């Protein structure tokens, strides 16, 4: 008799643990997936059925406008802070503190994990402050060393980790016991950006990357269904910026234009800033560059267009140079040779009002309207939108505005 009761209890417990994960306290879930360099119109190529289905069922923005400059780290950090780069600190993928000489550079593990560079409050910090756990699989800016400045669970970036492992990692977090489970999760893929740089946005390689990433979105949705969470999780799929074709004749050698000048140039690609020695040199070089400005624009720091929300950062140089769409800067003959050896076909980082620089935004889940189309969305507005969905109190000193995007929600 006792043995029969014991066997019955074992069976009951086995059935309980076999049940799909449940949202016992009814708190919302949000998964944000970033597809780096996925341009606003890639979805219209008819080769991403899983993402198209998600967009058809939920909401889709006509385009997703990045902050200036339209670079990877600045925009990923804008998305999670609701701040423009001039305010959150990451003004480029690579830049220097002109006072200390310290350099921030994508790919430099020490710099990327140094909390010194990151200002504002991220969504994962906000979640933690509200008693909610978070997790990140490779989101830029999530690896800082200070415990309160990174998600509850996070992975150090490793590009060799397969797409399947990343999605399975997200699912494993959602299968944790309720008290340990994150309700805000970030996931990152780089394929469309990598292939866009190498082969250009109109290439077969980019189309192959779109198909590959679409399979990951389909796999993620299927795995959520497998664990019984497909109807309680809000999925946001977005990108940090778009991509444009490079002009083969659009390489601008600043080293030749400024030959003999004792200045420091910082930046690369479409955006370079110049640090001059004194105000007299600033004025002289400004006029020189204006005369030579074929294929690029020249601004004094105080002249940078206000719509870029960029000029207030103290690390900017006295002169800012921005290449026209498809052109690129090199600072030395050595850089020119390196560029010609690599022969990249695509780039980003240009004026964020250029449509080629726009990314995409689609979302589906219990918080979102169904079959809804939106106009151009600003990526700075994601932070207040996610705070609203999760029911958490966000940082009020942000540039994003909930009223611009609240219509996306039910």
**134, pLDDT greater than 80:** yes
| Residue 376 appears among annotated catalytic residues | no
Question: Does residue 144 share a domain with residue 186?
Answer: yes
188 within a domain of the structure (yes/no):
yes
285 within a domain of the structure (yes/no):
yes
Of 343, 367, 387, the position where a domain reaches its end is 343
Averaged pLDDT, 133-137: 98
Averaged pLDDT, 43-68: 98
The domain in which residue 86 lies consists of: 25-245+353-408
pLDDT of residue 182: 98
pLDDT of residue 195: 98
68 within a domain of the structure (yes/no):
yes
Of 72, 152, 244, 328, catalytic:
72
- Report DSSP letters for 135-148, one per residue: EEES-TT---SSGG
CATH of the domain at 66: 3.40.720.10
Question: Does residue 310 share a domain with residue 231?
Answer: no
Angstrom CA distances, 406 to 243, 374, 385, stand at 28, 11, 7
pLDDT of residue 4: 52
Tally of domains in the chain: 2
Give the pLDDT band of residue 239 (cuts 50, 70, 90).
very high
Q: Give the relative orientation of helices 204-226 and 191-199 as an angle to the nearest 10 degrees.
A: 180
Of 291, 325, 343, the position where a domain reaches its end is 343
Averaged pLDDT, 303-327: 97
**3, pLDDT greater than 90:** no
pLDDT in tens, 179-226: 999 999 999 999 999 999 999 999 999 999 999 999 999 999 999 999
Question: Does residue 199 share a domain with residue 309?
Answer: no
- Scan for tokens 């043995």, then name that residue: 3
Question: Does residue 298 share a domain with residue 380?
Answer: no
**14, pLDDT greater than 50:** no
Question: Does residue 160 share a domain with residue 118?
Answer: yes
Q: What percent of the chain has pLDDT over 70?
A: 94
Of 312, 343, 374, the position where a domain reaches its end is 343
- Report DSSP letters for 7-23, one per residue: HHHHHHHHHHHHSPP--
DSSP β-ladder status, 134-137 and 184-189: parallel
Give the whole-angstrom CA distance, residue 313 versus residue 328: 23
Give the pLDDT band of residue 248 (cuts 50, 70, 90).
very high
> 344: burial class by Cβ within 10 Å (0-12, 13-18, 19+)?
middle
Q: Report the 10 Å Cβ neighbour count for 78.
A: 30
**16, pLDDT greater than 50:** no
165 within a domain of the structure (yes/no):
yes
Question: Any idea which of 14-23, 44-53, 303-312, 331-340 has the lowest mean pLDDT?
Answer: 14-23
Cβ contact 93:75 at 8 Å: no
User: Mean pLDDT of all residues in the chain?
Assistant: 94
Question: Does residue 182 share a domain with residue 286?
Answer: no
pLDDT of residue 25: 62
pLDDT of residue 26: 85
Averaged pLDDT, 60-79: 98
pLDDT in tens, 365-388: 999 999 999 999 999 999 999 999
Which residues in 148-208 belong to E strands, given as ranges?
153-155, 184-189
**13, pLDDT greater than 50:** no
């Amino acid at each position: 008799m006792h043995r029969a009761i014991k066997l019955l209890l074992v069976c009951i417990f086995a059935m309980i643990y076999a049940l799909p994960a449940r949202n016992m306290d009814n708190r919302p879930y949000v998964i944000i997936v970033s597809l780096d360099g996925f341009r606003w119109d890639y979805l219209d190529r008819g080769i991403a059925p899983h993402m198209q289905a998600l967009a058809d069922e939920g909401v889709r923005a006509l385009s997703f406008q990045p902050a200036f400059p339209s670079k990877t780290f600045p925009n990923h950090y804008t998305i999670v802070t609701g701040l423009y780069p001039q305010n959150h600190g990451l003004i480029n993928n690579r830049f220097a503190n002109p006072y200390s000489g310290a350099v921030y550079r994508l790919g430099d593990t020490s710099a990327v994990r140094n909390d010194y560079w990151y200002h504002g409050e991220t969504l994962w910090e906000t979640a933690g402050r509200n008693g909610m756990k978070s997790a990140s699989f490779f989101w830029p800016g999530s690896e800082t060393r200070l415990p309160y400045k990174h998600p509850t669970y996070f992975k150090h970036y490793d590009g060799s980790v397969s797409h399947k492992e990343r999605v399975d990692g997200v699912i494993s977090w959602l299968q944790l016991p309720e008290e340990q489970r994150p309700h805000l999760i970030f996931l990152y893929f780089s394929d469309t950006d990598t292939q866009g740089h190498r082969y250009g946005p109109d290439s077969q390689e980019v189309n192959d990357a779109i198909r590959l990433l679409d399979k990951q979105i389909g796999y993620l949705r299927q795995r959520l269904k497998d664990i019984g969470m497909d109807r309680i999780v809000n999925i946001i799929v977005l990108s940090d910026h778009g991509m444009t074709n490079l002009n083969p004749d659009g390489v601008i050698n600043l080293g030749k234009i400024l030959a003999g000048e004792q200045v420091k140039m910082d930046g690369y690609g479409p955006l370079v800033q110049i640090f001059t020695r004194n105000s007299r040199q600033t004025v002289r070089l400004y006029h020189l560059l204006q005369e030579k400005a074929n294929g690029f624009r020249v601004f004094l720091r105080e002249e940078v267009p206000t719509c870029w929300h960029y000029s207030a950062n103290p690390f900017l140089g006295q002169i800012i140079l921005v290449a026209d769409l498809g052109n690129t800067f090199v600072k030395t003959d050595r850089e020119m040779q390196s560029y010609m050896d690599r022969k990249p076909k695509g780039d980003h980082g240009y004026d964020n009002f250029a449509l080629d620089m726009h990314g995409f935004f689609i979302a589906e889940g219990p918080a979102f309207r169904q079959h809804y189309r939106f106009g151009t969305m600003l990526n700075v507005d994601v932070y207040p939108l996610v705070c609203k969905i999760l029911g958490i109190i966000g940082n009020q000193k942000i540039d994003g505005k909930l009223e611009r995007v609240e219509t996306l929600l039910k």
